[in-house]
Structure 1
Amino acid sequence: MNHLSTLPTTGEQARHALLLLGVPAGARLVVDVHMAFFDGDLSMAGLAQLMRGGAAGGLCAALGLELSVVPGLVALATWPLDRRIVTPAQRRADELAMIVRVAEFAAMRPGQAAARLLRELAHRVPDGAEAVDLADAARAALTSPQLIASIAAEAELRAEAVSRAARLDPRQQLFGLPSVPHQRGPE
Structure 2
Amino acid sequence: MNHLSTLPTTGEQARHALLLLGAPASARLVVDVHAALFDGDLSVPALARERVPGLCAALRADLSAAPGLIALAEWPLSRRIVTPAARRADELAMIVRVAEFAAITPGRSPLKLLRELAERVPHGPEAFDLADAARAALTDPELVARIAAEAPAREELVARASALAEKQQLYGVPAVPHQRGQG
TM-score higher than 0.5: yes
- 1:86-125 CA distances to partner (integer Å, 9 max, x unpaired)? 0000000000001000000010115564111100000000
Q: Does 1:12 align with 2:8?
A: no
Alignment of 1:84-99 (within 5 A): 84-99=80-95
Question: What TM-score comes out, normalization by structure 1 length?
Answer: 0.94
- 1:115-157 CA distances to partner (integer Å, 9 max, x unpaired)? 1110000000001001000000000000001101111111111
Q: Which moved more, 1:113-122 or 1:92-101?
A: 113-122
What SS does structure 1 have at the residue aligned with 2:31? Answer: helix
1:81 corresponds in structure 2 to: 77
Question: What TM-score comes out, normalization by structure 2 length?
Answer: 0.96
For the 8 Å contact 2:37–2:108, the answer to whether it is kept is no
Structure 1 residues not aligned, in runs of 5+: none
For the 8 Å contact 2:162–2:169, the answer to whether it is kept is yes
Higher-helix-fraction structure: 1
Alignment of 1:159-178 (within 5 A): 159-178=155-174
For the 8 Å contact 1:35–1:113, the answer to whether it is kept is no
State the 4+ residue runs in structure 1 displaced beyond 6 angstroms: none
Q: Does 1:100 align with 2:96?
A: yes
C-alpha distance 70-107 of structure 1, shift in aligned 2 (>3 A): same
- 1:12-67 CA distances to partner (integer Å, 9 max, x unpaired)? 00000000000000000000000001111001111111xx1x2x320000001110
**Alpha-carbon separation, structure 2, partners of 1:41 and 1:103:** 22
What SS does structure 2 have at the residue aligned with 1:57? Answer: coil
Percentage identity across paired residues of the two chains? 72
C-alpha distance 94-185 of structure 1, shift in aligned 2 (>3 A): farther
